[in-house]
Amino acid sequence: MMLSGFPDAAPLEGLLGGLLIGLAAAIMLLGLGRIAGVSGMAARATGISNSGAPWPVAVLFVGGLVLGAAVFTGLNGPIVATYPPSYSWLVAGGLIVGFGTRMGSGCTSGHGVCGMSRLSPRSLLATVTFIGSGMATVAISNAVLGAWS
């Protein structure tokens, strides 16, 4: 499906994928009584955090993320993905994302999906903050370093 004015957008795939992500988070909430927050689950699964979901739950959830994406590519073929121009962007971005998500107690899944849908003021403010700082970062890096190819 095309969205007029936005030739690159994939609104239908985005919406369908989003509905599935919501379903996944609903299974975690109603089945296991927990927030499907990926940063928290990753910290728990690797032993970086000692609190949160039971360790097997975190490991299976994180492993499931990889499995689900593998199943998708098995059915639909490889996914075209464009990465930053150098590995140093990945290292810098990863370090800051890791530090920031632990400090701010969540990321796009925990605060963005689970918290906003619960009308949590804390999560609404966190989400507005990381989207805003993300937009500012992209604008500045494009201006200073040029856009990705």
Least distance (Å) between residue 146 CB and another protein: 11
- Please report whether residue 134 would count as binding another protein according to CB under 8 A: yes
Least distance (Å) between residue 101 CB and another protein: 5
DSSP string, 11-63: HHHHHHHHHHHHHHHHHHHHHHSS---HHHHHHHHTTS-SSSS-HHHHHHHHH
Among 2, 4, 13, 144, binds another protein (CB under 8 A): 13
Rg for the chain, CA atoms, rounded: 17
- Please report whether residue 131 would count as binding another protein according to CB under 8 A: yes
Q: Which of residues 65-104 bind another protein (CB under 8 A)?
A: 65-73, 76, 78-84, 87, 89-104
How many whole angstroms separate alpha carbon 143 and alpha carbon 132? 17
Among 2, 4, 27, 85, binds another protein (CB under 8 A): 27
Q: DSSP assignment, residue 7?
A: T
Least distance (Å) between residue 105 CB and another protein: 7
Q: Which of residues 110-129 bind another protein (CB under 8 A)?
A: 111-123, 125-127, 129
Which residue shows structure tokens 């804390």? 122
- Please report whether residue 55 would count as binding another protein according to CB under 8 A: no
Least distance (Å) between residue 33 CB and another protein: 3
How many whole angstroms separate alpha carbon 111 and alpha carbon 136? 20
How many whole angstroms separate alpha carbon 126 and alpha carbon 105? 9
